[in-house]
Amino acid sequence: MTISVRYAPSPTGRIHIGNLRPALINYLYAQKHGGLFWLRMDDTDTERSSPKHAAEIEHMLNWVGITWDRFARQSDRMAEYEAAAETLKASGRLYPAYETQDELALKRKSQLSRGLPPAYDRTALALSESDRRRLEDEGRRPHWRFRMEPGSIEWPDLVHGIMRFDASALGDPIVIREDGRPLFILSGVVDDVEFGITHILRGDDHIANTASQMQIFEALGAPIPVFAHTPLLVDADGGKLSKRLGALSLAEMREQGIEPMALASLLARLGTSDPVEPFTDMLSLVAGFDLSHFSHAAARFDIVELQRLSGKILHNTSFMEAQPRLTARGLASMDEAFWLAVRGNLTVFADIDQWWQVAEGPVTPVSDDPAILQAAAALLPEEPWDEATWNTWTTAVKAATGKKGRELFLPLRLALTGTEHGPEMRVLLPLIGREKVLARLRGDEA
């Protein structure tokens, strides 16, 4: 059997960190098992869905490194959903109901106040044909509900183990809206059947939907896929991540300089027994991916941890991997020695511009001790320079001035780089070169 999975986003807003996680899990699972990965746009909600958001989803998935083998849009498949609905109506599994949202809300409130589950009471099943005509003459249009069969619904979940639901506690879900458009609980099943989806991997918030959808699969005479429900993300304090999703869109993270493999590395390991590590390529991440390592508890997402991981990935990035990005920034002349010297000081890739400026100039020197700079200029060794030059030079300056430690090293660093922190000066000095060093010590670099 060829494993087939899918990621089915609704293009109703910007793709955010919570959306990316199920996409990544499905992609890694398909890659690990040599299966197919479907991207399916669940865009039947025409009021909220937009081509702009759909395009952004595709673009951001590619940015992270996620590609797909098959693609579909639900808006292209309305005929298939209508056919499935007719089949279910003919078998008596779909029935029309006419309550308004306000009426349904009152029913749920009443049931909860009596300690009952807020399941639909099936009032609509008692309506006669004349009752339905009267309601429609009043201007009401029915929504359609799937009639659940009584009994226990069970499945072996790949994360949670055996899951059990009482069908009577779930109620009959609405599967078609008043305007005739199908909801995902029906359209998703129709697509999963036709596309041969074998495994459905999604968040814990869909567990109850799974119980209902299993009966829809059966009512359509289709095999039931294998299910896995992974824990949802919460913020660092254990609160709802949804409150902060506006600040956690992938587009914004990209603008902030977050490395895409940092996102993949973190989200693949959050909520598992595996340590979070800075992977620099998807193949390495795939090799260690295992659904059985996921716990049942919610996974804590911390933006600070992501930023730290992003920096670590840059620190492990080879010159060959960095070269195309350097060229794109107009830094094609940068060599491997320079990259290796400064990569450990990068927080985001754009920081490379600062250190290239330090090497190439001009730099505005910072100094409150001109005497030490004057002495250092007089003692500056002739080239060629290597990593031992800094120690040789500063030893001579120390002997001549009596300065040592921070009193010696900080004025020199500030004069040569314009900043208090950065790569080791023993490595940076040869990259700057004698001519620029001497000009900065004298304060006359243009």
pTM over 0.85: yes
Q: What is the DSSP string of 344-384?
A: GG-SSGGGHHHHHHHHHS------S-HHHHHHHHHTPPPSP
Q: What is the DSSP string of 110-159?
A: HHHHTT-------GGGG--HHHHHHHHHTT---EEEE-PPSSEEEEEETT
Choices 3.10.100.10, 3.40.720.10, 1.10.10.350, 3.30.70.1290: CATH for 370-442: 1.10.10.350
Distances (CA, A) of 276 to 184, 266, 313, 346, 366: 34, 6, 12, 20, 40
Angle (deg, nearest 10), helices 389-401 and 406-417: 120
Assigned CATH class of 1-73+231-316: alpha beta
User: What radius of gyration do the chain's Cα atoms show?
Assistant: 31
Q: In this predicted structure, what is the pLDDT of residue 242?
A: 63
80-176 CATH fold: Glutamyl-tRNA Synthetase; domain 3 (3.90.800)
Q: In this predicted structure, what is the pLDDT of residue 364?
A: 82
Q: Which of 274, 262, 337 is nearest to 307 (CA)?
A: 262
CB-based burial, 174-187: b 16+ in 10 Å, e otherwise: bbbeeeebbbbbbb
Per-residue tokens: 231: 């824990």
pLDDT in tens, the chain (446 residues): 899 999 999 999 999 999 999 999 999 999 999 999 999 999 998 889 999 999 999 999 999 999 999 999 999 999 999 999 999 999 999 999 999 999 999 999 998 899 888 889 999 999 999 999 999 999 999 999 999 999 999 999 999 999 999 998 899 999 999 999 999 999 999 999 999 999 999 999 999 999 999 999 999 999 999 999 999 998 888 887 764 556 689 999 999 999 999 999 999 999 999 999 999 999 999 999 999 999 999 999 999 999 999 999 999 999 999 999 999 999 999 999 999 999 999 999 999 999 999 999 888 877 778 899 999 999 999 999 999 999 999 999 999 999 999 999 999 999 999 999 999 999 999 999 999 999 999 987 65
Domain ranges (residues) in the chain? 1-73+231-316, 80-176, 319-349, 370-442
Q: Round to whole Å and give the CA distance between 84 and 81.
A: 5
Q: Round to whole Å and give the CA distance between 266 and 313.
A: 11
Positive or negative, the Cα torsion across 322, 324, 325, 326? positive
The enclosing H or E element of 391 equals: helix 389-401
Torsion (CA) 54, 59, 63, 64 in degrees, nearest 10: 20
Strand partners, 41: 73
Torsion (CA) 355, 357, 362, 366 in degrees, nearest 10: -30
Q: In this predicted structure, what is the pLDDT of residue 1?
A: 81
Burial of 373 (C-beta count, 10 Å sphere; 0-12/13-18/19+)? buried
Residue with tokens 């991916």: 289
Q: How many CA atoms lie within 13 A of 217 on its CB side?
A: 23
Q: In this predicted structure, what is the pLDDT of residue 368?
A: 76
What are the two backbone dihedrals, phi and then psi, of residue 95, each rounded to the nearest 5 degrees? Answer: -140, 150
How many degrees, rounded to 5, is the angle at CA 421 between CA 420 and CA 427? 115
Distance, first Cα to last Cα, the chain: 69
* Residue type present at position 341: A
Q: In this predicted structure, what is the pLDDT of residue 130?
A: 96
Per-residue tokens: 425: 């000066």
Distances (CA, A) of 287 to 150, 227, 276, 279, 316: 43, 22, 14, 11, 19
